[in-house]
Amino acid sequence: MSVGAVDVRLGEAFGPLFQPYAFKALYGGRGTGKSYSVATVLALLSHQRKRRIVCGRQFQNSIRDSSKSTIENRIQALGIHRDFHVTHNEIVHRRTGSRFTFVGLERNKESIKSLDDVDIFWIEEARNVSVDSLEILIPTIRKPGSEIWATWNPVLPTDPIDDFFRGAHPPEQSYIRRVGISDNPWFYQTRMPADMERMKRANYNRYKHIWLGDYDELDDSRIFTNWEVGRMPISDNDRPYFGMDFGFSGDPSALLKVYVFEKQKTIYISQEMFTKCSLTDLPTMMETIDVPRRVPIVCDSSRPEDIQFLRTKGFNAVASKKGSGSIRTGINWLLGYKIVIAPECVNMQNEARLYSWQTEKLTNKVLPIPCDSDNHGWDAIRYATEEVRASAATFIKRLRF
Q: Same domain, yes or no, for 277 and 332?
A: yes
154 and 258 belong to one structural domain: no
Residue at a domain's end among 187, 210, 240: 187
pLDDT, tens only, 335-360: 999 999 999 999 999 999 999 999 99
279, 146: one domain:
no
> What is d(CA 219, CA 47) in angstroms, rounded to the nearest whole number?
47
DSSP string, 358-391: EE-TTT-PEEEEE-SSS-HHHHHHHHHTHHHHHH
User: Which of 187, 217, 242 is the endpoint of a domain?
Assistant: 187
> Alpha-carbon distance 195 to 206, whole Å?
12
Tell me, yes or no, whether 108 lies in a domain: yes
Helices 346-354 and 376-384: angle between axes, nearest 10 degrees? 100
**Residue 238: predicted pLDDT:** 95
Is the same domain home to 266 and 182?
no
Q: How wide is the angle at C-alpha 180 spanned by C-alphas 124 and 51, nearest 5°?
A: 35
Instruction: Over range 376-392, report the average pLDDT.
Output: 91
Would you say residue 386 has pLDDT above 70? yes
Categorize the per-residue pLDDT at 401 as very low, low, confident or very high, splitting at 50, 70 and 90: very low
* CATH code where residue 160 lies: 3.40.50.300
Last residue of a domain, one of 161, 187, 213: 187
Sign for the pseudo-dihedral over CA of 283, 288, 294, 299? negative
Task: Please state the domain count of the chain.
Answer: 2
Do 10 and 147 share a domain, yes or no? yes
**Residues 89, 147: one domain?**
yes
Query: 20 lies in a domain?
Result: yes
Decide if 195 is inside a domain: no
The whole-number average pLDDT for the span 92-118 is: 88
> Which residue range(s) make up the domain with 248?
227-400
Ranges 237-251, 263-277, 367-381: which has the least confidence: 237-251
**Single pTM value for the model:** 0.87
Read off the CATH number of the domain in which 284 is found.
Answer: 3.30.420.280
